[in-house]
Chain A
C-alpha cells in the first residue's frame, strides 16, 4: 500500500515542482480598461489566457498584472461588455471594451462549473438578484414568486413557514421541492439564507441541465453561489436595511353573533338552540337574541407587526487574497397576538487565497443563529370554528387560573376552545444554530486547461426546542392540569466531498471540455426528546429533572443516509454555432434496496443567427434552437427498510393483572409490521425543445420551451383495504408536459426607461400507469373517507372525487319529481326537503350511488404566470410585479369542517349570509338545516372552488443619489409594498394552498389553512461606498 501510494504521489509532487519552475520568470503588464465612451471600467476581470492568473481593474479602470513569460495574451471580461482577448505586445496594454446589450456573454453557473449563456443547450434561468432584493420576504424563494417561468412558488402566509416550490409541475407524489445547492452543499430548503447573501442563482429546469445531479435532480435544481470578493478590488461596503409593518390582509370575515344565531336556530338541533339561550342568559341579551358577538380574528390578531432587516456586507481583494463578509439581522414579529416571533442573525465569511500561482485555496462559511417563538397554530383554527356567542374573558369563571378566560362549555360549546386561551397558553421556543462551512482547493495545470478542484462542504446544525405549559385550569370546574415541559435537542451533521477534474481546450473553431467528478455524501440527523410534569414556572428550572419524569417521557430518533456518485460532462462546440452537451451520472444511495442508478443526458444547440443565411436580416440579433433529452432521479422518495420492522416497548405491550386490587403491569410485547416492499428512486425522463432569441437590437429577449417529463416508478403511499397502514412503493407512472415562455422588452422613451417582462407556463399532468391497481383513493388526513381524491390512469393525479353539486331543491314539487330524491326519501329518517342540495345522477339510473361520482377538478394550475413593469426616470425607479395562476381547484376543507361537526361550528360571513332561506333565495348554497343532515354529507363539488387568482406581489419606488463628493456614498432609498392586492373569488384566507404532510404523506389542494396572509409596507435604505 505504502509503495503504491508513493508510485502515485511522486509524479504528483514532481508535477507540482514543475509548475513552480514554469512560473518562476514573470513580467509586469499594466494598462487601463475603458468603455466605448472612454470612461474607465471598474471591476473588469483581467486574466492571463490559459492560466488562473488574474486581477480586476480599480476605480480608475487601471490594472497591474504579473504575467508569466510564456503567456501571449490577456482576456478582459466584464458584465455588460463583450469579452475581449488582447495580445501582450509590451508592458502597457490599453483596452477599450465594446458594450454588449445581449448578456449572452454572461457566465452562467451550471452544475459543477460555469458555461457561457450563449453556449447553453439547456433552459437554465438565471435569477435577477437585484429584483429579488426588492421583495421584503424572509426567505429567498418567496422572492421569486411569479418571476421565473416554469417555477411555481406557493406560500402559505403562516409566519416562518417555507414555501412549496414546484418546477415544471408535479413529477412526484413525494417531495416536490427542488434540490438546492448552496456553494456546493445540498440542502432541502434555503430559508436560512438571507436574500442579500446571494450573488448568483441559476435554476436548472430540464434534464440536460440537471442530470449532472442524478438521483437528486428530478424536481429541478436551484444553484446558489454566495457573494465573493474579487482580486485587486477596492473594498466595497454595502448596507442594506428596511423597516416595515406587516398587516393581516384578506382576513376572512366570519359570521357575527347575529348571523351565527340565525344559522344555529335554523340548523335546528337542541344543542344549537341551547347555546343561543345560554349565551343570552349568561352574557347578555334576552331569550333567543343574545347580544354577544366576538370577532375572534379581531381578538387574536395584531393590527400590525414589525418586520425589519439590517445587513452589512464587505467585499474586497488584493492580488493574492479575496474576501467577503456579511452580517445580517432579521426580526419578524408574528401577527398572532401572543408570544410569537422570529429572530435571526446571519454571518457569512468567505476567503480565497492564491497560495501558489497554480493553486487557489478557499474557505467560506455561513453561520445562522435563530430564535423562533412559534405560535400555537391551533388558535387560528379555534378562531375559525369558535362561536361568536361567548366573550374572551369571564370574571365569573372562578376556578379558572392563571387567566380568567371564558370556558366555552358554559354555553354548551364543549368542542370549542377559547381561541385567545389557545394562543396564550403556549410557549414554544426553538433556538437553532447552523454552520455551513466549505473548504476547497483548486489547482490549475497545463496553462489552466486542466483544473482539479476538491471541496468539502458540511452542515452542522443543532436545535434546542423548549415547550412549556404552565399549571392551569380553563374552568369552569375545579382541579388543574399540571405543568408540562418538553425539551427537544436535535443535531444534523451532513457532508459532501466533491472531487472535480475539468479539462477545457480548443483548436481553431473547435472547443471542448470534459468534466470528471466524484462525490461522497452523508446525511445524519438525531433527536432526543425528554418531558416532565410539575416543572416550576421559572425558566431557570426548565430541566426535566426539576419535575416528575416518566418512562414514556423520553425518546430518541435519527436517520442516516449515505451516497456515492461518479459523474461526467462533455461539451463540444464548433465555432459557437453547433453546440453539444452530454452528461452522465452514476449514483449510489443507501436509502434503497437497489443501490445504483444511472442518469444520462444529452443537449444540442444550433445558433442560427451565426449562419451565413441569417447575416442580412435585421430582426434577430441572436437566435438559437435547443433540444435536450435526459433522465433524472428523485430520491426524495422515503427511505424504506425493505424488511419487517419490529416495534417494542410500552406501546406494544399489554397490561395484565389490572384487577380490583392491583394496577396491573406490562407484560413485554412486540408487534411486527411486515407490510413493506422493495423500493427505489423515481426516474424522470424528459425531453425539451426550445428557442432563445434576442430581437430589435436587444430590446426584446425571450425564450420558448416545450417540455415533456415522464416519471416512472413514482412512489406513493398506496392505500390497502383493511388497514390504515399504507404501503410505500413505486406504484405509478405519470407525465407532465407544457410550455414555458419568457419575454422581456427594454427600451427608452426620452428620459424614461421602461421594461416589461412576462412569463407564462402551462402544465398538463396525467397518470399513465398504475400497474395492477384499478385506481387508488386517498385524501387529506382524517378526511379520506369523506372527501377522497383519486388516482386513475389518464387523469391528473389526486383529482378531487365526488358528486356533482348542481343546485338546491327549491320546492317540494321539485323533490317529488326527482327520482333520486324520491328514492332517498323512501328510507331516510332525515328526508330531503326544500333547501337541500341537488346532486347530478350521472348515469341517470334514478339512484345516487358510487357510480355517480366524478372528477371534480385538480389542484394543479393549468397556467402559472407573472408579469412586471419597470420604469426609470432620472434618479427614480418604479416597479410593479404581478403573479397568478389559473385552472386549478381548491377543496375548501374549512367549509368542509361543517360536514363532520356535531354542532354548528362558525362559518364564514359569505356562507352565513348566502344560505338558502326559501324558494328562489339562492341556488348556490343549501339551507342551514341541510348542513346538519345526512344528505349534505357526501363528498360533493359544493366544496370545490376555483383557485384562480391574480396578485400584485410587489410595488417599489426607489430614489438613487450620492452623498459626498470625494469618495461618494451611493445611496438608494426605497418604499415597498409587498402583496398589497389580491384578486380572487375563492372563499378562504388565501387561494395559495400548499402541501400538507401532517398525515405522514403529502397531499395538496385541500385548504385547511386558517391563517391570514399579511401584506408588508416598508421603507428601506441601501448605501454603498
Chain B
C-alpha cells in the first residue's frame, strides 16, 4: 500500500512543479506598460496616433461627412436614403432618431475624443520623466498636449454644432466605468469649453504656418486661433453687440497679421493635388498612397473600409472609368448651382460643379476641365461635387482603385479667416471691404465697396459652397435666417439632429 502512496506523491510532484505555468500575458497584444516612458524621443508617438485617429474612420468617414453636408441646401443626398433625406429636410422624429447614420457619426466624433484622452494619459506618463527644470522638454510636452487637446476640442465643437447639448469627455473617460453615467453640457458650455481649450493651445502650440511646422501639416497656434474664433462666432450669434465679436476679431487679426498666410492663386486647383497644404491651409487631414499604385494606403476610411474613402463616395456613377467612379452621394443642389450662376461666379462654379453627362442622361457623357469623361446615370443626377474631384492625370500612375488617393481633405482655410475677420469688423461697424475683396479677387470677381452683412454672408456661402463641415447650415442658424431660407426648418426644433436612440439606450442620462 505504501508504494501506491509513493506514486501519488510522484504525481503531485510532477504536476505542481511550476507555479508560473499559468502566468501568461496575451500573445501579440503588447502591454502598454512595456512602453519606455523615459525615452522621450517616443513622446510624439501617442500624438501621431491621435492624428491618425482623426484622419481615418472618423472626421472624414463618409456617413458623417454626408450627414453634415446634406444638412443644408447646398447639397442633396443624391441617393434614396431615407435617413439622409429626412435630415436634409430637417426632420427630427422617431425615424431619424433610430437612423444608423447619426449613431455612426456620433461614435466617429467621440472616437477622436476618447483617442485624445488616452493619448493625454500617455503624455502624462512621459511628463513624469521630465525634470521640472528641463524647460525645453516641458515646453515640448505642453506643445504635444496642445496638439491632442486641439483635436479633442474640434470633435466636441462639431458634436455640439450637430447634436446641440452633448457631454464633454475629459481625461476621466479613460476609465470606462465613467462613460455610462455622463451627462450633457449645454451648447454654451461646450463652446466656452472649446474657447478655454484653445487658449491653452494658442499658448503652447508652434508659432508656424502648418506647412512649415516641425511635423509638416500639424496643427499650430493659428489652427487653434481659428477654432477659437469659430466657437466665439457661434456664441456671438446674430447679436452685433456681443463681446464675442471682439474675440473673433482678435483671433483672426492675429492670423492675418502674422503675415504667414496667403490665398492659393488657383481656386480650381486649391482642392486638388497642387493645393495640398498650400500657404492657405490651416487644417487639413493628410492622406497618401506613397506614390505607389497598390499596397499600403492611408485614406479617410477605417481599416479595410474602401467605402470610407472621402473622394470615392462623392464620385459620380461613371460607366467610363473604373477610377473616377463612386456611388454618387452628396450631389450639389440645383439651388447651389443657381446661386453661383446668378452671381456670375464662374471660377467657383467651374470648381464646385462637375457634370454627369448631359443633364444626367445615362446615354450621354461630359468631359471635365481636366479631360476626364463622365457618363450620365440611371438616377439622372446632373452634377457631382467638383471640390472632391480628383483628375485622373493627378492620380498615381496605374492606380485604378481608391479614387482620389493621395489628396488631402481640406477643413480650415485662410479664406474663411479673412471672411470671419470681415464679418466681425462689419458687425462692429467697421469696414470689411479689404478682406472680402481679397477673397473675391482670387476668383476673379470685381471688388465691391461698403460690404454689407448680407453681402458678406453671400460671399461666405459662395466661397465655402459644397464644402463638408456644415458651415452653410450653421451660418443660416446663427444669423436666424434658417426658417426663411430652408424649407421645412422650424425654429426651436430643427437646429439639431437628435441624440441617437442607440446612445440613449445605453445611457439613459443622455435623454
Q: List A residues at the B interface (Cβ < 8 Å).
A: 8-9, 11-12, 14-15, 269-271, 274-275, 277-278, 281, 407, 409-415, 445-446, 450, 452, 473-474, 476-482, 499, 501, 516, 518, 520, 533-534, 548, 550-553, 556-564, 566, 588-590, 595, 639-641, 643-648, 650-660, 663-675, 677, 719-725, 727, 772-777, 783-786, 788, 790, 824, 827-830, 848-850, 900, 902-903, 932-939
Contacts and interface: CB of A to CB of B under 8 A. Distances in A.
Interface in B36-81: 44-53, 55, 79-81
A829 B296 contact: no
Contact of B10 (A12, A446, A559, A658): A12
B94 A849 contact: yes
Interface in B291-327: 291-296, 298, 303, 317-323, 325, 327
17 contacts: A278-B378, A473-B322, A477-B322, A480-B322, A499-B11, A552-B295, A646-B34, A654-B286, A656-B215, A657-B215, A664-B287, A672-B122, A722-B110, A722-B503, A785-B100, A788-B502, A850-B501
Contacts of A479: 321-323, 400
A588 B12 CA distance: 15
B6 A939 contact: no
Interface of B: 2-4, 6-15, 21-35, 44-53, 55, 79-83, 85-86, 89, 91-100, 103-104, 106-107, 110-111, 113-115, 118-119, 121-122, 167, 169, 173-174, 176, 179-180, 182, 211, 215-218, 273-278, 286-296, 298, 303, 317-323, 325, 327-328, 362-363, 377-380, 400-401, 406, 408, 488, 490, 493, 500-508, 510
Contacts of A727: 176
Nearest to A501: B8
B44 A656 contact: no
Closest CB pairs A-B (n = 8): A412-B378, A669-B48, A274-B378, A550-B295, A654-B51, A829-B89, A271-B379, A15-B3
A850 B48 contact: no
A663 B79 contact: no
B48 A723 contact: no
Contacts of B507: 721
Contacts of A939: 98
B82 A932 contact: yes
Q: Which of B7, B293, B325, B500 has the largest count of A CB atoms less than 10 A from its CB?
A: B7
Given A275-B378, A481-B401, A663-B406, A644 B8 contact: no
Interface majority SS (helix, strand, loop, mixed), chain A:
mixed
Q: Which of A410, A473, A722 has the largest count of B CB atoms less than 10 A from its CB?
A: A722
Contacts of B378: 270-271, 274-275, 277-278, 411-413
Contacts of B4: 15, 445-446, 450, 501
Given A560-B27, A646-B31, A657 B91 contact: no
A672 B32 contact: yes
Contacts of A445: 4
A655 B286 contact: yes
Given A588-B22, A669-B52, A850-B504, A934 B15 contact: no
Given A645-B32, A785-B100, A850-B504, A660 B49 contact: no
B107 A564 contact: no
A641 B29 contact: yes
Contacts of A410: 319
A785 B81 contact: no
Given A271-B79, A933-B82, A720 B506 contact: yes
B30 A648 contact: yes
Contacts of B278: 660
B379 A269 contact: yes
A146 B133 CA distance: 76
A533 B22 CA distance: 42
Nearest to B400: A479
Contact of A481 (B23, B30, B122, B400): B400
Contacts of B320: 476-477
Q: Which of B169, B182, B294, B408 has the largest count of A CB atoms less than 10 A from its CB?
A: B294
A721 B176 contact: no
A590 B23 contact: yes
B99 A516 contact: no
Contacts of B294: 482, 533-534, 548, 550
A477 B321 contact: yes
Q: Which of A658, A937, A939 has the largest count of B CB atoms less than 10 A from its CB?
A: A658
Given A561-B24, A720-B506, A671 B325 contact: no
A723 B114 contact: yes
Q: Which of A410, A415, A479, A824 has the largest count of B CB atoms less than 10 A from its CB?
A: A479
Contacts of A721: 179-180, 182, 503, 506-507, 510
A533 B107 CA distance: 34
B11 to A, nearest CB: 5
Given A482-B294, A518-B15, A646-B32, A824 B25 contact: no
A655 B23 CA distance: 38
Nearest to A533: B294
Given A269-B80, A937-B83, A646 B22 contact: no
A415 B274 CA distance: 32
Contact of A659 (B89, B211, B510): B211
A673 B378 CA distance: 45
Nearest to B106: A722
Contacts of A936: 82
A660 B24 contact: no
Contacts of A725: 114
Contacts of B22: 562-564, 588-590, 595
B111 to A, nearest CB: 6
Given A645-B32, A667-B215, A829-B86, 9 more contacts: A8-B10, A274-B378, A410-B319, A501-B11, A548-B295, A646-B31, A663-B291, A670-B35, A932-B82
B327 A415 contact: yes
Contacts of A473: 322
B118 A673 contact: yes
Given A274-B379, A933-B82, A786 B100 contact: yes
B276 A659 contact: yes
Given A560-B27, A775-B505, A903-B79, A655 B174 contact: no
A646 B99 contact: no
Q: Which of A415, A559, A664 has the largest count of B CB atoms less than 10 A from its CB?
A: A664
B113 to A, nearest CB: 7
A1005 B437 CA distance: 63
A658 B28 contact: no
A658 B217 contact: yes
Nearest to A677: B176
Nearest to B303: A651
A938 B94 contact: yes
Contact of B52 (A654, A677, A850): A654
B286 A478 contact: no
Nearest to B325: A477
A655 B400 contact: no
B498 to A, nearest CB: 10
Contact of B24 (A476, A562, A646, A850): A562
Contact of B317 (A409, A655, A773): A409
B107 A724 contact: yes
A913 to B, nearest CB: 23
Q: Which of B11, B274, B327, B505 has the largest count of A CB atoms less than 10 A from its CB?
A: B505
A939 B502 CA distance: 12
B92 A827 contact: yes
B216 A516 contact: no
A655 B288 contact: yes
A550 B503 CA distance: 40
Nearest to B272: A660
B10 A412 contact: no
A412 B362 contact: yes
Nearest to B322: A477
B23 A788 contact: no
A558 B27 CA distance: 6
Nearest to A557: B28
B176 A14 contact: no
Nearest to B296: A552
